[in-house]
Chains A and B, each alone.
Chain A
Amino acid sequence: MAKPRTYVLVPIDTNTVTAGAREVKNAISAEIGKRGLSDEITVVETAAFGPTDAGVLVAVQPDNVVYANITVANVAEIVEEHFVKGRQCKKFILAGEKPVLPKAGETDSRKLQELGRIVLDNCGVIDPENIKEYIARDGYFALGKTVTELKPEEVIKVMKDSGLRGRGGAGFPTGLKWSFCAPVKSKEKYVICNADEGEPGTFKDRLIMEGDPHKVIEGMTICGYAIGGNKGFIYIRGEYKLSIQRLQKAISDAREYGFLGKKIFGSTFSFDIEIKIGAGAYVCGEETALIESMEGKRGLPRLKPPFPAQCGFRGKPTNVNNVETLANVPPIIRNGADWFKKFGTAGTPGTKVYTVLGHINRPGLIEVPTGVTLREVIYGYGGGMKSGKFHFAQLGGTAGDILGEEMLDVPLDYDAMQKNGHVLGSGAILIVNDSVDIKDFLYSCMKFFVHESCGNCNPCRNGLKIIKDITQRLKEKKGYEDDIDGMEEISMILKSSAFCPLGQSPAEPIMSALRYFKEEIKQGIDSKAVKPTIRHTQRDLITLAPV
C-alpha cells in the first residue's frame, strides 16, 4: 500500500467525545471515501494534546494545521477545501499559539522532547490503542535496555541522578523512594501506580493515560525491575472509563508482545499489571488510604511508620508513584540522567504537566519545563485573561495555595515555591478573575474538603466543618468578629496536627488567601452579629446560628 500523503488526527477523549468527535471522525472518513481519497489520506484516533475547550479538534499532518470547534456540518467544507483543493480553511484554524506537534512520520521522539515534551510527546500524535505506534516511537526500548543491560541498583542510580521528583504533589525524590523499597527482603513486592487523581481541576494523569498508556506501563515495569517487584497495580478512579479501557487494551497488548508477563525480553524478570478501580474517595489518593481501599477496606489513611516501602499492600513492601512520575521513567532511562537534567530547574529537573483552567483564553493541557513562571503560563501558554482582571491563581487543585499578583513571577518549581511559603501541588493551575469573591471561593473549597474528609481524625473532621461554617458566614457577610482569627488558628493547627495530608492541606488555601486577601475577607464580618455561646440553650442556638 502506498504511503498516505496526509494524516488526519482526531483526538478522542472525554471532552471531545461529548462535543461529537466520533461523529466528526466518521464523517471525515466517509467524506474522504466518497471522494476516493482513502488511499491518500488516513484518519487516526488519538488523544488530547492540549486545548480542552476548543470542541472537536482535527489536526492535519504534515501540514501542521489544527482545526478547532469542528462539527459534522463543517466536514464537507474542510475536505473539499483542504484535501481536494489544497487550501487551508482559515476560519476553522485554532486561534493563538499552535500546540506542539511533530511532523507526520517523525519517529524520533527526541526531536519532540527537545521542544519540551517528555511526558506528552506521544499524546495526540499516536493512536494510543495501537502498540506498534508506541514501539515505532522508541516505546519499550527503555524496558529492554533496563532488563537486559542494567542491574536494579543501576536503574535506581539513574533515577536518583536524574533528580526526578514525585509529580503527585509532594515532590519527593523518586529514586530515593525506590531505594527504600528495593533492599527490603520479601517474596512479594508491589508497584502501585496512583491514578486516583482526585484533586479538583487536575486531569493531567487522565490525559496521559488516555494518550499514552504504554508509557505508564513501561515506567511501572521498569520500577518493578528496580525494586525487585513482581506485580503492579494501577489504582484508577472509576470515572476514568476511557483511561481504563485504553490501559486494559495496552496491558493485554503488552502481554502479547512479551513486555509484560514471564521472562520479559528473555531475562529472568517477570512482571504483570492489574487494574484496580477506585470508588472515588478523595482521601484514597493518599497512598496508605489507597492501599487500604485496594485491600477492600474503608479508605482510611494508615498510621506511619511503617511506611508502604516496608509494609504496604497486603503487608508487603510496596512502592507507590503517581502516573506522571512513572511516565517520566522510560525517557529518563532511554536518554540518561544528564539529558533529563537539561530541562527545567536544578532543584526540580524535567518538565511538569499542568492542566490550566479558569478565566483564560486557552485552557487545557500543557507540558512546560519546570521554572516557568505563572505569568508565562497565563499570558503565554494560556493566551491571556479571557475577561476581567487577574485576581488570583490556585496551584495544585483545591488543596493548593492561592496566589496573588505578587507571585506571578515566581518560578514554578518545588524549591522556589517552598521558599515563598507555598507548595506546587499536583498540576492544576486555576486562574480566576476579579468577578470572583475570594470568600465565595474559599467556601466552595471548604465545602469540598468537608465532603471528602474521611472522618477519622478529630481536627480534620471537626475543624474543617467549623472553617466551612466560618467561610459561609463570611461570604454572606454575617461573620462574627473573631471568625477570621478562629479560622486562622484552626488552619494553622490543622497543618501540623491532622492525621494525613488531606487534613493538613486545607490550611494551604486558607492561609495563603489570608496572606494576600485579608482585607477582602474582612469585609465578610458583621460587627453586629452575636455569636452564640455556651450559655445559650440549644434552642437559642437554632435561632442564633445562621443557617
Chain B
Amino acid sequence: MINLTVNTVPVSVDEGTTVLDAAAKAGIKIPTLCHLDGVSSPGSCRVCLVEIKGARTLQPSCVTKVAEGMVVSTNTKLARDARRLSVELMLANHPWDCNACKRNNDCELQTLSKSMGISEVRFPYEKEELPIDNSTPALVRDMNKCVLCRRCIGVCQDIQGVGSLAPRLRGFDTVIGAGSGENLCDAICVQCGQCSAVCPVGAIFEKDAIKDVWKELDNPDKYVVVQTAPAIRAALGECFGLKPGTLVTGKMVTALRRLGFKKVFDTNFTADLTIMEEGSELLTRLKTALVEKGNVSLPMFTSCSPGWINYMEYFHPNLLPNLSTCKSPQQMFGALAKTYFAQKEKIDPSKIVVVSIMPCTAKKFECDREEMNSSGFKDVDYVLTTRELGRMITEAGIDFVNLENGEQDAPMGLSTGAADIFANTGGVMEAALRTVYEVVTGREIPMNKLHVKPVQGLKGLKEASVTLTDCKPDWKFLEGVTAKVAVAHGLSNAKEACDLVAAGNKHGWHFIEVMCCPGGCIGGGGQPRLTTNEVRKARMKAIYKEDEGRPMRKSHDNPAITQIYKEFLEKPLGHKSHELLHTHYHSKAK
C-alpha cells in the first residue's frame, strides 16, 4: 500500500493507482475529460490538473501514479485556475450552438463547464468551418465540435484494433480523421460506432433515422412493423434516468405501440431461428468433416454482428469461408416480415415498412447492403439505435417510466430465453449449445440453470468445451467428441482468435462466437452513453435475469419457430431458408 495525502486527507491505495483514483477514495472528485477508464488516457486535456508537492508543473491526475508520501492539492488557486482555463480554452474553440446540438444536456463539456462555474467565455471563437462527414450510413462526424480528447482513437485502435482514426495535421489545425483526410466511407471503418459511444461531445453520432421513421408512421398507406434487438430492453431505461440494468421490455412494447407501430415484434424471434439455422449449419459442417471427410471450413464463426462481418471482410478475407452463412437476426426478420408475415396476413409487402431498434450503428450499414433484399424489397427499411428510440419517445411526450407493460405481437414477437441472451457476449454460444446438445443427445445440456459459465463475463477471449455422449442414432458420429468453443468480444480480441485460427487452430476450436463490441450487443455503439464496465455488467445481469424468468429457454422449444418451419420454411437449411435466411460475403481487403 502507498500512503499519501490529498488535500491533507490521508489515503492508502495500491501501488500503481492514479492520483485521480486516490483522490476519489479521499472523497474528492477531480474533473476529467480525455481520460476514459480502459479506453484511453492521453493526459492531454489538462482538465484534471493537480498540484503535487515538489513537481515543477501541475500534473494530470488521470495518468500520474501515486508515490509514497506524495502531497496532492486539488483545491489551490493555481490548480483551480488551470483546470477552469483548460475548459474555457476548449469552449472558446467550440461552436456555440448547444441548443441545436444532439448532445445538448448529455454533453461532458457542458457538465464540466457548469461544474466549474464558467459563466462567460472571454475569448472569441475563430475557427474555420469544417465539412461534416456523413458519408457512411451509420455515423456522422462533425469535427467542428471535436475537443480532440482522442477517446475515439483509443477505442478504435486499442479496443477494436481497427485503427481507422488518427490525428491529422498539427497544432490548432489538428483534426481527427480517417487516413489522409478522406471521408469515412472511403476508409477502413467497420461502422461499429464505439467512437460515437465514447465521444464526450457532439462530434461523432449515429446517422439519425428518426425523421424517416416519423414519415413512414405518418403515412396511412404504410404498414409499419418494428423489431427490437435483445439488448434494447436492458438499456433503454437509461435514456429516461433509470438505473443501468433496469429491464423495461413491457414498457418498451407499450411505448412502441403508442408511437404508432402496427405490430411490435421482436428480433428475439429470429434469434431463435438463427440458432436453428446456425446450429444445423454447424452440425452439417461437422458431419462433412468427420463422416464424409469432405473439405469444409472449420471452426465456424458466428455471423450476427455486422461490425464483425465488416472486420472479417476487411482484415481476414481468407477466413470468410469460416463465417456462418446465416444472416443476422435483424436481416432474417426483415426477409420474413415481407414474405412469411405478409403472406400470412395478406398484406402487400410493398406497403410493409420494417423498422429495427438496435443497440448498434453497424446495423444501419447492414440493412443497406445490396445482398439484403431477398424478400424482393429492402428487407429492413430503417434502423434506429437505442439512443434514437429514446429521443423519439421523449419527443412524443410519452411518460416512459410510468408506462404499463405490453406484450409483443404473435407470431414474430414470440421468443425464448435463449434469444434474450444474444445480447451478451457468450450468449449466442450458450444458446447454440443449449440446442445443439439437446438435438444431438436428446438431453438438456448438463449445466446449472442451463448457463455455460465459462463463456460468460467480460474476459476478452473465453473458451469452453462440452463432451457429447450417448448421442442419438443420427448423430452417432459425434459420440465422445469434445466440442470446443471460443467466444471473443471487442475486435482486438476477435483478431487474436482469427490469428490463432489462421495459424492452424491449435486449440482445436469447432465454433467461435464473435461480437464486435466489448461486452457484446449490450455494449453496442448505439446504446445510451456512457457504457462503462460497470454498466456492461449491470445490463448483462438484467439479460440473464430476463432469460431465467422465461417459461421457455431453448430456441428449439419456441412454438412459433416450429410453426414457421411447418407453414413456410419446411426445414432448417432448406431451400427457402437458403433463399431468405442465408447470405454470402465479399473480401474488402485494401
Task: Tell me the A residues contacting B by CB distance below 8 Å.
Answer: 281, 298, 303, 305, 450-459, 461-466, 469, 482, 486, 489-490, 493, 495-499, 504, 531-534, 538, 541, 544-545
A-B contact pairs, 11 of them (CB 8 A): A452-B170, A454-B170, A456-B42, A458-B46, A459-B86, A462-B93, A497-B85, A498-B57, A532-B124, A534-B120, A541-B125
Residues of B within 8 A of A305 (CB): 65
Query: Are B43 and A459 in contact (CB-based, < 8 A)?
Result: no
Residues of B within 8 A of A493 (CB): 78, 81-82, 85
Interchain CB contact (< 8 A) of A497 among B86, B96, B124, B147: B86
User: B483 at interface (Cβ–Cβ under 8 A)?
Assistant: no
Q: Which of B77-118 contact A (CB under 8 A)?
A: 78, 81-82, 85-86, 89-90, 92-93, 95-97
| Interface mask (B106-140 → A, CB under 8 Å = 1, otherwise 0) | 00000000000000111111100000000000000
Query: Are B82 and A496 in contact (CB-based, < 8 A)?
Result: yes
Query: Are B58 and A466 in contact (CB-based, < 8 A)?
Result: no
Residues of A within 8 A of B457 (CB): none
In the bound complex, how far is the Cα of B44 from the Cα of A482, in angstroms?
A: 28
A480 CB, min distance to chain B CBs, angstroms:
9
Residues of B within 8 A of A469 (CB): 123-124, 126
Interchain CB contact (< 8 A) of B96 among A464, A466, A489, A538: A538
Residues of B within 8 A of A532 (CB): 124-125
User: B169 at interface (Cβ–Cβ under 8 A)?
Assistant: yes
Interchain CB contact (< 8 A) of B92 among A455, A456, A462: A462
User: B171 at interface (Cβ–Cβ under 8 A)?
Assistant: yes
Interface of A is mostly: helix
Query: Are A450 and B171 in contact (CB-based, < 8 A)?
Result: yes
Residues of A within 8 A of B337 (CB): none
Residues of A within 8 A of B82 (CB): 459, 493, 496-497
User: B173 at interface (Cβ–Cβ under 8 A)?
Assistant: yes
Residues of B within 8 A of A459 (CB): 46, 82, 85-86, 89
Query: Are B78 and A499 in contact (CB-based, < 8 A)?
Result: no
Query: Are A303 and B57 in contact (CB-based, < 8 A)?
Result: no
In the bound complex, how far is the Cα of B97 from the Cα of A541, in angstroms?
A: 13
Residues of A within 8 A of B57 (CB): 495-498, 504
- Can you list the 9 inter-chain pairs with the closest CB atoms, starting with the nearest? A455-B174, A453-B171, A462-B89, A465-B172, A497-B82, A457-B44, A455-B171, A532-B124, A466-B123
Residues of A within 8 A of B122 (CB): 482, 486
B56 CB, min distance to chain A CBs, angstroms:
8
Residues of A within 8 A of B58 (CB): 496-497
Q: Say yes or no: A455-B123 contact (C-beta < 8 A), given A466-B89, A499-B44.
A: no
Q: Which has the most chain A C-beta neighbours within 10 Å: B58, B89, B120, B125?
A: B89
Query: Are A498 and B121 in contact (CB-based, < 8 A)?
Result: no
B433 CB, min distance to chain A CBs, angstroms:
43
Query: Are A303 and B171 in contact (CB-based, < 8 A)?
Result: no
User: B19 at interface (Cβ–Cβ under 8 A)?
Assistant: no
Q: Which has the most chain B C-beta neighbours within 10 Å: A281, A452, A456, A541?
A: A456
**Which residue on chain B has the smallest CB distance to residue A454?**
B170
**Which residue on chain B has the smallest CB distance to residue A462?**
B89
Query: Are A462 and B90 in contact (CB-based, < 8 A)?
Result: yes
Query: Are B81 and A465 in contact (CB-based, < 8 A)?
Result: no
B123 CB, min distance to chain A CBs, angstroms:
5
Q: Say yes or no: A455-B167 contact (C-beta < 8 A), given A462-B89, A497-B49.
A: yes
In the bound complex, how far is the Cα of B199 from the Cα of A71, in angstroms?
A: 64
**Which residue on chain A has the smallest CB distance to residue B93?**
A462
In the bound complex, how far is the Cα of B441 from the Cα of A402, in angstroms?
A: 86
In the bound complex, how far is the Cα of B57 from the Cα of A454, in angstroms?
A: 19
In the bound complex, how far is the Cα of B124 from the Cα of A118, in angstroms?
A: 52
User: B201 at interface (Cβ–Cβ under 8 A)?
Assistant: no
Residues of B within 8 A of A457 (CB): 43-46
A119 CB, min distance to chain B CBs, angstroms:
28
Q: Which of B43-72 contact A (CB under 8 A)?
A: 43-47, 49, 57-58, 63, 65
**Which residue on chain A has the smallest CB distance to residue B51?**
A496
Residues of B within 8 A of A490 (CB): 85, 89
User: B286 at interface (Cβ–Cβ under 8 A)?
Assistant: no
Interchain CB contact (< 8 A) of A496 among B43, B78, B97: B78
B258 CB, min distance to chain A CBs, angstroms:
38
Query: Are A461 and B85 in contact (CB-based, < 8 A)?
Result: no
Interchain CB contact (< 8 A) of B172 among A450, A504, A531, A534: A450
A155 CB, min distance to chain B CBs, angstroms:
29
**Which residue on chain B has the smallest CB distance to residue A542?**
B126
In the bound complex, how far is the Cα of B46 from the Cα of A466, in angstroms?
A: 17
Interchain CB contact (< 8 A) of A545 among B43, B97, B126: B126
Residues of B within 8 A of A533 (CB): 120-121
Residues of A within 8 A of B172 (CB): 450, 453, 455, 461-462, 464-465
User: B162 at interface (Cβ–Cβ under 8 A)?
Assistant: no
In the bound complex, how far is the Cα of B169 from the Cα of A281, in angstroms?
A: 12
In the bound complex, how far is the Cα of B95 from the Cα of A504, in angstroms?
A: 27
Query: Are A534 and B171 in contact (CB-based, < 8 A)?
Result: no
Query: Are A455 and B170 in contact (CB-based, < 8 A)?
Result: yes
B20 CB, min distance to chain A CBs, angstroms:
14
Residues of B within 8 A of A465 (CB): 93, 171-172
**Which residue on chain B has the smallest CB distance to residue A451?**
B171
A171 CB, min distance to chain B CBs, angstroms:
13
A460 CB, min distance to chain B CBs, angstroms:
8
In the bound complex, how far is the Cα of B121 from the Cα of A486, in angstroms?
A: 11
Query: Are B85 and A489 in contact (CB-based, < 8 A)?
Result: yes
In the bound complex, how far is the Cα of B123 from the Cα of A456, in angstroms?
A: 20
Known A465-B172, A534-B96; further 5 A-B contacts with Cβ < 8 A:
A455-B171, A456-B44, A464-B171, A497-B82, A499-B43
Query: Are B120 and A455 in contact (CB-based, < 8 A)?
Result: no
A357 CB, min distance to chain B CBs, angstroms:
26
User: B148 at interface (Cβ–Cβ under 8 A)?
Assistant: yes
Query: Are B45 and A538 in contact (CB-based, < 8 A)?
Result: no
A440 CB, min distance to chain B CBs, angstroms:
20
**Which residue on chain A has the smallest CB distance to residue B150?**
A456
**Which residue on chain A has the smallest CB distance to residue B95?**
A538
Interchain CB contact (< 8 A) of B86 among A303, A458, A504, A541: A458
In the bound complex, how far is the Cα of B169 from the Cα of A450, in angstroms?
A: 12
In the bound complex, how far is the Cα of B2 from the Cα of A170, in angstroms?
A: 32
**Which residue on chain B has the smallest CB distance to residue A460?**
B171
In the bound complex, how far is the Cα of B89 from the Cα of A453, in angstroms?
A: 15
**Which residue on chain A has the smallest CB distance to residue B126?**
A545
In the bound complex, how far is the Cα of B148 from the Cα of A486, in angstroms?
A: 23
A169 CB, min distance to chain B CBs, angstroms:
15
Residues of A within 8 A of B95 (CB): 538
| Interface mask (B27-44 → A, CB under 8 Å = 1, otherwise 0) | 000000000000000111
Residues of A within 8 A of B92 (CB): 462, 466
Query: Are B63 and A453 in contact (CB-based, < 8 A)?
Result: no
Query: Are A538 and B125 in contact (CB-based, < 8 A)?
Result: yes
B31 CB, min distance to chain A CBs, angstroms:
13
Residues of A within 8 A of B90 (CB): 458, 462
Query: Are A455 and B81 in contact (CB-based, < 8 A)?
Result: no
A498 CB, min distance to chain B CBs, angstroms:
7
A302 CB, min distance to chain B CBs, angstroms:
10
Query: Are B124 and A541 in contact (CB-based, < 8 A)?
Result: yes
Interchain CB contact (< 8 A) of B44 among A458, A464, A496: A458
In the bound complex, how far is the Cα of B124 from the Cα of A196, in angstroms?
A: 35
Q: Which has the most chain A C-beta neighbours within 10 Å: B44, B57, B126, B169?
A: B44
Residues of A within 8 A of B86 (CB): 458-459, 497
Residues of B within 8 A of A486 (CB): 122-123
